[in-house]
Amino acid sequence: MKKILFHSLTFPPDTISTGMIVSKIAEGFQKDLKNVEVLASSPQYNLKILEQFRESKHQIYNDIKVHYISSSPRKFVNSLRFLQWLSFNLKSLKFIYKNRKTYEHIFIFSYPPTMNLVCIFTSRILKIKTIYSLWELYPEIAQKLKEQPNFLLNKIFKAIDNYALNSVDSVVVNSKELKQYLITNRKIDRNKIFSVSHFSPFNKSNHIPNYDLKNIFYAGNVGKPQNLQDFINFFQQNFPNYWSIDLYGAGQELENVQKLKNINVRFHEYLSREELEISTKDIPFALISLDYEITMEGFPGKTFDYLNMNKILINYSNPNSAVSKLIDEHGLGFNIDKNNPNTLKNFMDALSSEDAIDNVISNISKFQKNISNEEIVYKKYMSLISSSS
């Protein structure tokens, strides 16, 4: 019997949430079908065990055979990241070609869409049923943040990505808004696009925060898409001085963001998920910050992990963004629009209402039970096997 291959950049023992989500979906498939393998990069974050993965061709993770492509730690300089991307893709193509008769379906998880060449190779050349799961649109984000290398290269990249989207059997995105964007702006066939919400791959916290605390925390990447400088400036100018914010993480913009440090804005080193939960256990609010120019093209994965930590979401982004609409639709927290002072006032007013806070907490529980749920998500992915056959 032919097997199913899950192809992802990150995968445990790296504890990056994107790779952890893929591992949970793969575990669901393996539990039901018993024919799953994974192709992923060797650890790029958990560097303590990197050598043992360079020396072995594969390892077993929760009864799943995982083939690790030897990779160096993640780079933050664009030129080095490009070379790293090129090396990973070439090694992926080599592995898949060598094992082309082994797999009947390939699930390719790309965040951002950096594995479109692999999608084209598996679907067009090898004729393997390919499901392409992408979680943001890099060309659009780079263009809006003025990070694109140049107009021509950006146009070429988008053309390749569109060809990949049109070539594969199914496309999975993590929001209804991104699905509509692909249909309207990228002209992708709506019948092959499926919207599947994400979930937190970590265990739900048993600790209930102190919802009376006037404290927010942010954890994760500190880069240009997050635009934390803008939020911190807004926070310092508009929040009462008895509020505070704690930031945990690392990234390209960390040095610039740290210049805004003061008594109410505190910075901490990156912590593991377990350490982060302990450190922030009493903090009631978790920050999602996204550059105002980004609307449908990106969706912060930390959204779902915050909910699993029983945090109320504070979202600082464009009101037309996919994450803003998700929070509005399901009542998962509060959206703050820098161009609309009433949104901050509404948030402050809600804090004085015990019923308002209880309602948000109840909404979070319903959302996780009925939508952002590991079993629901992996079964939706599993249904795509029959859709692509």
> CATH number, domain at 253?
3.40.50.2000
User: What domain count does the chain have?
Assistant: 2
- 139 within a domain of the structure (yes/no): yes
Question: Does 296 lie in the same domain as 183?
Answer: no
Q: Is the pLDDT of residue 360 over 70?
A: yes
CB 188 within 8 A of CB 171: yes
Question: Does 126 lie in the same domain as 155?
Answer: yes
Question: Does 307 lie in the same domain as 184?
Answer: no
- 206 within a domain of the structure (yes/no): no
Per-residue pLDDT at 10: 87
Question: Does 278 lie in the same domain as 329?
Answer: yes
- 208 within a domain of the structure (yes/no): no
CB 12 within 8 A of CB 23: yes
Per-residue pLDDT at 16: 80
Question: Does 240 lie in the same domain as 192?
Answer: no
Question: Does 309 lie in the same domain as 192?
Answer: no
Question: Does 240 lie in the same domain as 287?
Answer: yes
Q: Is the pLDDT of residue 111 over 70?
A: no
Residues 365, 111, 56: CA angle, nearest 5 degrees: 105
Strands 64-69 and 58-61: antiparallel
Q: Is the pLDDT of residue 389 over 60?
A: no
- 335 within a domain of the structure (yes/no): yes
| Percent share of the chain, pLDDT over 70 | 91
Question: Does 140 lie in the same domain as 228?
Answer: no
- 317 within a domain of the structure (yes/no): yes
pLDDT tier at 120, thresholds 50, 70, 90: very high
Candidates 102, 153, 105; CA nearest to 131 is 105
Per-residue pLDDT at 374: 93
Structural domain including 142 reads: 3-199+374-388
Is pLDDT larger for residue 175 or for residue 57?
175
Per-residue pLDDT at 184: 95
Is pLDDT larger for residue 17 or for residue 336?
336
Q: What is the mean pLDDT of residues 302-313?
A: 95
Those residues with Cβ within 8 angstroms of residue 52's Cβ, 6 or more apart along the chain or in another chain: none
Q: What is the mean pLDDT of residues 355-369?
A: 95
pTM equals 0.89
Question: Does 312 lie in the same domain as 170?
Answer: no
Name the region of 52 (left: φ>0; alpha: ψ -120 to 50; beta: rest). Answer: alpha
- 210 within a domain of the structure (yes/no): no
Those residues with Cβ within 8 angstroms of residue 174's Cβ, 6 or more apart along the chain or in another chain: 135, 195, 196, 197, 198, 299
Question: Does 135 lie in the same domain as 29?
Answer: yes
What is the residue whose two structure tokens read 């464009």? 318
Question: Does 378 lie in the same domain as 366?
Answer: no
Question: Does 297 lie in the same domain as 162?
Answer: no
Q: Is the pLDDT of residue 144 over 70?
A: yes
Q: Is the pLDDT of residue 388 over 80?
A: no
- 73 within a domain of the structure (yes/no): yes
- 183 within a domain of the structure (yes/no): yes
